[in-house]
Structure 1
Amino acid sequence: MRNLEKVMGGIWHGAARFRAIGHVLASICVVATANSLLTTAVSLDLSNPAIDGGIVQLLLTAFPIGFLGGCLSARFFVSRLGHERAFLTVTLLAAFAACGYMLTETPWAWFWLRLINGFAIATLFVISESWINLYADPKSRGAYFSLYMLMTSLATLFGQLLIQAAGPHSPYLFLIVLGVILSGLFYAHFVGGRWPVLPLPPPIEGTSNAASAHRYGILQLASLAPVTVAAVFQAGMTNMNVYTMTPIFGERVGLDAASSVTLVTVFSIGGMLAQAPAGWLSDRMDRRLLLFLQGIVTVCLCAAVAWPGTHSLALLYGLFFVYGAVALTIYPVGIAYANSQLDGRHMVSASGCLLLIYSVGNIMTPGIAAGLMERFAPQALFLLLGGGALVVTIAAVFNLLRQPSVGVKPCLASGGSE
């Protein structure tokens, strides 16, 4: 009887924590929906053949540069304002940037608007992921992160559906972006209520305060889990290039704008539907082996899309759906593997480092992809993306072959107060 009461109490406590985090995830989903819509709207404008290729590369680079800046400065915002107020402040900044697209089409102005947009989105992601990592206990961290990934996948899908509902060439796309951001801001501040207070961290035996505050850097992450570093870099290059370059790819292979948006939509649906199965698998098999299989399959799918010859539209939709299901689940599996190797006190700094790696993937590859597509063929985009997946495969093999790290501990409870 006591065991039953203990189990029921645990279920009730877990359900209460899930209810508490629900409005936080909903706020993230709404704001990320606006970003998905904005990314595709800008890409549709840049797919115009009359726009110089150099300008396209410059504007594509602006967002990841801003994203990198957001990763580097997010800790400052959180330390000064706390997670909740930092989230609201940066969302308001994103709303101001969205206004600019309706006021001017000057390339230099769009460069700065894209940079501000990248800065805001990266900051929001760091705020959200670090808060979730601090709020969750060791047993629920994977579940919360899966919910977070589901919300971002839904946001991507909702953004594409809004594009299709309004029409790819609608003059009101940027106005819709502004409306979605403001609705997310209104919900986060007036409807959802205050974010739950973060729990205080329990003392960790054998460590000093200085050790607990130690920042976990990129070199430590690369030494501990090279497959995670490769997976996060691959996710950065995949997400940025698929969502920004697919409309340009579609235009150059003879697809209309609606079909190009549908390609991004089915890619997003595949990723969304695969999140839960991938999470279930990652808890039941060696995550390094799962990442190896995901890398191999992704390489094959990229090669299939880039295969010489003309694909039917139905086949392209199918390939993009499966590609999204596999490629968009590499990131959470890689993060879960890193989390299983880290002490809880390192999770916040590790989260920032991983997003920094993600932003490097954002920055390095769009310009390269645009140049390869301009010089060779539109399909060169997927040869580049397949190369990123190949790096994940090689890193997974390396992690599988070497001996497990000595002295690695599973995640411990972590947290802090606002």
Structure 2
Amino acid sequence: MSRQMLAIALAPLLGLFILGIGNGFLSTLITVRLDSAGESATMIGIVSSAYFVGLALGAMFNDRLLLRIGHIRAYGSFASLVAVTVLMQGLVNDPWAWFALRLIGGWATVGVYLVIESWLLTSGEPKSRGRLLALYMISLYAAGVLGQLLLGVVNDMGETAPFIVIGMLASLSVLPMAMIPRVSPLVEHAEPLPPHRLIMLTPTGVVGSLGSGMVVAAAYSLLPLYLQRIGMSVAQVGQMMAVVILGAMLLQYPIGRWSDRHDRQVVLIAISAFCVLISAAMLWLPLSMGLLAALLFLLGGGVFALYPVAVSHAADRAPSGALVRMSQGLLLINAIGSTISPLVISPVMTAAGNDGLFWAFGGLSLLFVMFFAWRRSVRPAPVPVAPFTATTPMSAAGAELVVTEALLQGALEHEYSEDLSDAVLNVAVAEPMVGPPAEDESRVTYYDDDNHVSSTR
């Protein structure tokens, strides 16, 4: 990457890293605090779902604000709102007030991601998007790991200290963006494909995106509750959550490369079956600290890889003109899964105890295995049209980062080959050959710009 490109991307990535440190342990902190206050798992799930509702709403509507006021002013507005909502959580201890604050906080947080993703999207040439996305992911995951490790330290400073630290980090993240003497072009507004169109286009991609949202949201919001209830301190909970995110960061690429070399539907079946096995091990094996850390590392790698493989599978089927809109639609479906996850899984924990989390994980993963296996028997997956790209987009603009030049070219070639096959089949059906052609006969088929047969001579 050129020095000019790095200079353009440095400010948004630095702002993301600073804000991500605090945001990385905020979900864990809220779960731990609500559990310490004696709230039920169901109530904790309701509060957690508010954040994901805000993410979904922001992913649909925040781009309109960005179009009106620009990147830097939008970033300052969203980051300031994140800081205010977090600081107010330190002042108010009512769970329903936290529900409202988390809803607003989710809406503002995805606005921050929208600014950063659209800045990266429009700051360079298409051939550099893959590298920009890699830097984006490294910043996001590294901030998450560091934030989880700092949870125990800041929690020991006092009851309100963690909220103050997160608010400070959100405010400080504005500085790199505000001190840049350049404004990137505005992101264009684009609507995702409606759900029924997506389901018809790629049922496997829709279920994979929805399921990924459910299990990842449960990992962020309810796994800390499980860890605290089995006797871990706040610092230990943060360390174990850091292990989960580290597993996601390190295992996503090997799984993705595997999906490039094999049927992605088989990879989705294997990931889901793997999550069933990890859930069973969490339920039935005697867990030491080392074994627990190893299982959580593997669980993080499995559940976080489900979404990018599902999106890659969907992209293999999508026509070239629908790639971005399809990615945006799958992102919103993923957000819907994240929203309903705490509401569905937390009652299971209330009814079945702490182990209810992994009963739910295992049950959902088993359903995914059955669905993906059924879909493969009905319609085998196509050959991958482009290399896997690991991704954790947080907004509709981030979906465009996934649509790399290689993926677009692969989709165009795939679409061309399908049209060509259909055209040849139509010619063969229209003019069946009764016998072998004479030696002096020659037939030349001409195609128009849309790859349709124009004439045959």
Deviation at 1:42, TM superposition (A): 0.9
SS of the residue 2:85 aligns to: helix
SS of the residue 2:236 aligns to: helix
CA distance in 2, matches of 1:139, 1:343: 20
CA distance in 1, matches of 2:198, 2:295: 33
| Greater relative contact order (Cα < 8 A, sep 6+) | 1
CA distance in 1, matches of 2:116, 2:320: 17
Question: What does residue 172 of structure 2 align with?
Answer: 183
Q: Pick from 361, 374, 381: which aligns with 2:337?
A: 361
Q: Pick from 408, 411, 417: which aligns with 2:408?
A: 411
Deviation at 1:389, TM superposition (A): 3.1
Q: Structure 1 counterpart of 2:210, which letter? A: F
Residue identity (%): 26
SS of the residue 1:291 aligns to: helix
CA distance in 2, matches of 1:319, 1:366: 22
SS of the residue 1:45 aligns to: helix
SS of the residue 2:353 aligns to: coil
CA distance in 1, matches of 2:298, 2:13: 26
Structure 2 contact 53–106 (Cα < 8 Å) conserved: yes
SS of the residue 1:329 aligns to: helix
Q: Structure 2 counterpart of 1:263, which letter? A: M
Question: What does residue 44 of structure 1 align with?
Answer: 32
Question: What does residue 248 of structure 2 align with?
Answer: 271
| 1:140-289 → structure 2 map (5 Å cutoff) | 140-167=128-155, 170-171=158-159, 172-190=161-179, 194=182, 196-197=184-185, 215-289=192-266
Question: What does residue 100 of structure 1 align with?
Answer: 88
CA distance in 2, matches of 1:18, 1:291: 35
SS of the residue 2:93 aligns to: coil
Aligned alpha-carbon RMSD (Å): 3.3
Question: What does residue 300 of structure 1 align with?
Answer: 277
Deviation at 1:269, TM superposition (A): 1.3
Q: Measured at CA, do residues 49 and 125 of structure 1 come closer, stay the same or move farther in structure 2, by a change above 3 Å?
A: same
Structure 2 contact 54–104 (Cα < 8 Å) conserved: yes
Question: What does residue 326 of structure 2 align with?
Answer: 350
TM-score, length of structure 1 as denominator length: 0.80
Question: What does residue 364 of structure 2 align with?
Answer: 388
| 1:49-64 → structure 2 map (5 Å cutoff) | 50-52=38-40, 55-64=43-52
Q: Measured at CA, do residues 298 and 195 of structure 1 come closer, stay the same or move farther in structure 2, by a change above 3 Å?
A: farther
Q: Over residues 322-374 of structure 1, what are the superposed CA-to-partner deviations in whole Å (9 max), with x where a residue is unaligned? A: 11122222222333333454456545543432232122112212122221111
Structure 2 contact 118–187 (Cα < 8 Å) conserved: no
Q: Over residues 194-230 of structure 1, what are the superposed CA-to-partner deviations in whole Å (9 max), with x where a residue is unaligned? A: 4644799xxxxxxxxxxx9774233333333333322
Structure 1 contact 229–354 (Cα < 8 Å) conserved: yes
Deviation at 1:75, TM superposition (A): 3.2
Structure 2 contact 263–381 (Cα < 8 Å) conserved: no
Q: Structure 1 counterpart of 2:74, which letter? A: A
Structure 1 contact 66–114 (Cα < 8 Å) conserved: yes
SS of the residue 1:47 aligns to: helix
Q: Structure 1 counterpart of 2:226, which letter? A: F
Q: Structure 2 counterpart of 1:287, which letter? A: R
Structure 1 contact 270–322 (Cα < 8 Å) conserved: yes
SS of the residue 1:387 aligns to: helix
Q: Structure 2 counterpart of 1:322, which letter? A: L
Deviation at 1:266, TM superposition (A): 0.8
Q: Measured at CA, do residues 355 and 123 of structure 1 come closer, stay the same or move farther in structure 2, by a change above 3 Å?
A: farther
SS of the residue 2:350 aligns to: helix
Deviation at 1:254, TM superposition (A): 2.9
Deviation at 1:385, TM superposition (A): 2.2
| 1:12-161 → structure 2 map (5 Å cutoff) | 17=5, 20-48=8-36, 50-52=38-40, 55-129=43-117, 132=120, 139-161=127-149
Structure 2, gaps ≥5 residues long: 387-406, 411-457
TM-score, length of structure 2 as denominator length: 0.74
CA distance in 1, matches of 2:264, 2:332: 22
CA distance in 2, matches of 1:87, 1:338: 31
CA distance in 2, matches of 1:141, 1:223: 29
Deviation at 1:133, TM superposition (A): 5.3
SS of the residue 1:411 aligns to: helix
Structure 1 contact 372–380 (Cα < 8 Å) conserved: yes
Structure 1 contact 99–178 (Cα < 8 Å) conserved: yes
Q: Measured at CA, do residues 218 and 189 of structure 1 come closer, stay the same or move farther in structure 2, by a change above 3 Å?
A: farther
Deviation at 1:387, TM superposition (A): 3.3
Deviation at 1:138, TM superposition (A): 5.7
Q: Structure 1 counterpart of 2:171, which letter? A: L
Structure 2 contact 190–325 (Cα < 8 Å) conserved: no
Structure 1 contact 41–168 (Cα < 8 Å) conserved: no
CA distance in 1, matches of 2:124, 2:208: 23
Structure 1 contact 146–276 (Cα < 8 Å) conserved: no
Structure 2 contact 78–112 (Cα < 8 Å) conserved: yes
Question: What does residue 207 of structure 1 align with?
Answer: none
CA distance in 1, matches of 2:86, 2:219: 22
Q: Which moved more, 1:273-282 or 1:93-102?
A: 273-282
> How many residues are matched?
387
Deviation at 1:235, TM superposition (A): 2.7
CA distance in 1, matches of 2:312, 2:122: 15
CA distance in 2, matches of 1:333, 1:242: 18
Q: Measured at CA, do residues 214 and 65 of structure 1 come closer, stay the same or move farther in structure 2, by a change above 3 Å?
A: closer
